[in-house]
Amino acid sequence: MAYDYDLFVIGAGSGGVRASRLAAMSGAKVAVAEEYRTGGTCVVRGCIPKKYMVYASEFGSAITHAKGYGWNVENATYDHNLFMDRMHREIDRLSGIYARNLRNSGAEIIEERVEFVDAHTLKLVMSGRTVTAKKILIATGGSPIMPRDVEGIDLAISSNEMFHLDEIPEHIVIIGGGYIAVEFAGIMRGLGARVCLVYRGETVLRGFDDDVRTHVHDELKRKGVRVITHASPKAIAKDDGKLKVTLSNGESVTADKVLFAVGREPHTRGLGLEKAGVKVNDKGAVEVDGYSRSSTAHIFAVGDVTDRLNLTPVAIREAQAFAQTEYMNLPTQFDHADVPIAVFAQPPVGVVGMTEAEARRQFGQVDIYKTRFRPMKDMLTGDEERVLMKIVVRAEDERVVGVHIVGPDAPEIIQAVAIAVKMGATKADFDRTCALHPSIAEELVTLREKFVPPELKPV
């Protein structure tokens, strides 16, 4: 059978673009369908604009801290419209680069939503045209979850709308305790809003190391974020020009904006995957094997739509492995272990490898090395922010299986540390590495004493 395309990719985000370019450059006839904007969540309404908002929100405290170093900045003001205009111009530029790179590689871009007709046929919804493909790659990413069981949910916004705020709200309620909620809490607080974070659990950042979670939670409160735990929203209603959020614990909070940041779900609804025999799990994620192959042999999926490890660089590497396997005769599986992760909280988090709890469950005996300290920069500013550094070591062979940092430049530091962890470095390797002084990172190679919980210390 003759097909219209060798490869049809659904979604022009980071994963879809990488797979499309590599496949097209290998000589395959490739088309990419994107219903919104080239670049996907990361470029358009995720990692990139969020990082710019983090930068913008940090300048206020930087100006305050500058006084400790002799700088006197008077009458400083923040122009939100100016910032948003400059940020979106940059996003437009990046989106254009993604589109240009696709076209230069020989891939065709189709700016339409598509749905499966059968395992090899797709319908372009806007034009009604159908196309066929020998292989299909699903790279549609994820979408913010907006729970429908909350009365008045239509009055709330998701993270998507946070990148298009006309003005900074005087007071914002953020529902959630994951990295998106924590990051926007820091952003909004830094830009001058009063922030109330509502979380159903005990401590934010579920899934991270307990010490990291506690540290970030305490810093949120220290910086003026009101944190309400063990509560979830029941209803949202308009109240004299404001929004009143009624909580499950009986409390209510009134604000100008209500942001739901309770997680993301695979963007598979309405794709018609059942017509192609593609299986999804109970979360709607496409089930794939190590080569990103779905239950239908010629249909693949990469990135957040598979709900394996939802990070932009992971989607890119999964896409690269797919292209190498299918179009370059280089069978490749991406290894999801020891992937560095950052949370752009304030202070930021950088982690790689196992949490202490995970390591204890898997290995039994582990050694812990950790420290908390004020960074040198703050000694002249009066800021009481603390840095947390923690190393998790497998006791049987001293291999470092986890590193956790909360503090300035933690994401930058953890990228380099991840190389050592991925290579299987031991605590002895860390110890014999010369410190770079003065720096925050030097603590990673000067920690010598194992941490002993107070309850285990001899009286």
- Length of the chain in residues, anyone? 459
Domain coordinates in residue numbering, the chain: 5-143+265-327, 153-262, 341-456
Q: Could you tell me the fold of the domain covering 153-262?
A: FAD/NAD(P)-binding domain (3.50.50)
pLDDT by residue (tens digit) across 70-102? 999 999 999 999 999 999 999 999 999 999 999
In this structure, what are the phi and psi dihedrals at residue 301, rounded to the nearest 5 degrees? Answer: -150, 140
Q: Could you tell me the fold of the domain covering 341-456?
A: Enolase-like; domain 1 (3.30.390)
**Residue range 151-158: mean pLDDT, rounded:** 97
Q: What confidence tier does 455 reach under pLDDT thresholds 50, 70, 90? A: low
Q: Is the pLDDT of residue 415 over 90?
A: yes
Give pLDDT, residue 269: 93
**Residue range 52-62: mean pLDDT, rounded:** 97
Catalytic residue among 215, 298, 336, 437: 437
Q: Is the pLDDT of residue 459 over 70?
A: no
Give pLDDT, residue 1: 78
Give pLDDT, residue 338: 97
**Nearest to 51, CA basis, from 317, 260, 348:** 348
Q: Is the pLDDT of residue 392 over 80?
A: yes
Q: For the CA atoms of the chain, what is the radius of gyration?
A: 24
Residue tagged 């994620």 (tokens): 285
Query: Could you check whether 5-143+265-327 and 341-456 share the same CATH topology?
Result: no
CATH code reported for the domain at 5-143+265-327: 3.50.50.60
**Residue range 154-158: mean pLDDT, rounded:** 97
Task: Check if the beta carbon of residue 273 is closer than 8 Å to that of residue 286.
Answer: yes
Q: Is the pLDDT of residue 53 over 70?
A: yes
DSSP class of residue 426?
A: B
**Residue range 400-413: mean pLDDT, rounded:** 97
In this structure, what are the phi and psi dihedrals at residue 343, rounded to the nearest 5 degrees? Answer: -120, 120
Query: Which amino acid would we find at residue 397?
Result: D
Q: What confidence tier does 458 reach under pLDDT thresholds 50, 70, 90? A: low
Give pLDDT, residue 265: 96
Instruction: Please list, in sequence order, all residues whose beta carbon lies within 8 angstroms of the beta carbon of residue 273, skipping any fewer than 6 positions away.
Output: 116, 138, 280, 286
pLDDT by residue (tens digit) across 169-210? 999 999 999 999 999 999 999 999 999 999 999 999 999 999
Q: Is 315 exposed, middle or buried (0-12, 13-18, 19+ CB in 10 A)?
A: buried
Residue tagged 């190389």 (tokens): 419
Q: Is the pLDDT of residue 234 over 60?
A: yes
**Residue 437 annotated among the catalytic residues of the structure:** yes
Mean pLDDT for all residues in the chain? 96
Give pLDDT, residue 85: 97
